[in-house]
Amino acid sequence: MSSQQIPEENLPVEQGTAHGAVEGAGDPFADPGLPAHKPRIQDIDERAANRSERAVALMFTLSMLATVGFIASYVIFPVDQIVYIWPFGHVSALNFSLGLTLGLALFLIGAGAVHWARTLMSDVEVADDRHAIEATPEVKAKVLADFADGARESALGRRKLIRNTMFGALALVPLSGVVLLRDLGPLPEKKLRKTLWAKGKQLVNMNTMEPLRPEDVVVGSLTFAMPEGLEEDAHDFQSQIAKAALMIIRIEPDNIKDKREREWAHEGIVAFSKICTHVGCPISLYEQQTHHVLCPCHQSTFDLSDGARVIFGPAGHALPQLRIGVNSEGNLEALGDFEEPVGPAFWERG
Ligand code: FES
């Protein structure tokens, strides 16, 4: 081939006419086709193509030499020879030589292949147009005929007794699934809405198991409390404490922003559910300067000086507050149960 001959597949192709482009100038939705192919210098100049060929061959040859160097390293360098090589410092001569020669051998194979593909392999873009996915009229007619044959052979239209009883059987069988729902156990009814708190129940310190007195709750401390009479060895201790556990803190009454919270407190002592309203983790981290409590599970943060409203995180609603007072013995007591369900929001919606 002379140096000025251009292979036919490399001749420029006019834009908009290649590979199934839709005809129709002026139609904005017409397929523009593939862009025109721009020949590379190697496509039109045989000498440039030969130069590229030699460059690729050189890289493959150097790769071969690097591989020979890799094998020779085992003969040349003793296993324990250490040499100083800037900037790596003191290294094993054998390891360094093995790494260098193997790295070069692989790199040169890759570089040669890339250069070959970019300069000498054909870069003409090829498009394979999709065929229509709609069935032909003949196929559609055959499917309909087969369906009609099947219906006729099954005698579904003629045997009305069979057809009607079959429809009845198919309609009734899903009812079995409804009955199986009974196996999910009894409904929770009001159990999730009620806790052990009731009017007159004393608050018991969960650490000392002693009734909690107002003077035990100092500003800046976080105290956990549970209802009196709940024994740790009771069979339902875990389920009861999971609903009834309280956080008790003292806030200067003037610093309580929420009116109802102030009224339900005793001299600034407030009692909130310890159970996070997100998915029910026990809250335990208290920041006394801001009166924020943080749930360790997903970082929901509640402001205990403002009705325990959520100020950050995924929790859906504020922590329920328990109304408290002091009984004749000077101990803190509940003035009733929580007025809203404790814990995750789905209980509230249930
Ligand atoms: S359980 Fe408290 S933030 Fe998720």
Residue 295 pLDDT exceeds 90 = yes
CA 16, distance to chain mean position in Å, is: 44
63 by Cβ neighbours in 10 Å (0-12 / 13-18 / 19+) ranks as buried
* pLDDT on residue 10: 52
Q: How far is the CA of 319 from the centre of ligand 1 (A)?
A: 12
Band of pLDDT at residue 25, cut at 50, 70 and 90: low
Domain ranges of the chain: 41-120+155-184, 203-334
No. of helices (H) and no. of strands (E), the chain: 9, 13
Q: To test the ligand 1 pocket, which listed residue (272, 275, 278) has its Cβ within 8 A of the most ligand atoms?
A: 278
What's the CA gap between 42 and 281, in Å, rounded? 70
Q: Taking residues 242-252, what's their average pLDDT? A: 93
Which of 96, 7, 1, 104 is CA-nearest to residue 60? 104
Cβ atoms of 285 and 259 within 8 Å: the answer is no
* pLDDT on residue 40: 92
Band of pLDDT at residue 22, cut at 50, 70 and 90: very low
Most confident stretch, 130-144, 169-183, 199-213: 199-213
Atom index in ligand 1 nearest the CA of residue 298 equals: 3
Q: How far is the CA of 155 from the centre of ligand 1 (A)?
A: 61
Q: How far is the CA of 193 from the centre of ligand 1 (A)?
A: 20
Atom index in ligand 1 nearest the CA of residue 299 equals: 3
Cβ atoms of 198 and 334 within 8 Å: the answer is yes
| CATH topology assigned to domain 203-334 | Rieske Iron-sulfur Protein (2.102.10)
Q: Tokens 């002693």 map to which residue?
A: 210
What amino acid occupies position 243?
K
Summarised one tens digit per residue, pLDDT across range 39-96 is 999 999 999 999 999 999 999 999 999 999 999 998 999 888 888 888 888 888 999 9
pTM over 0.75: no
Band of pLDDT at residue 106, cut at 50, 70 and 90: very high
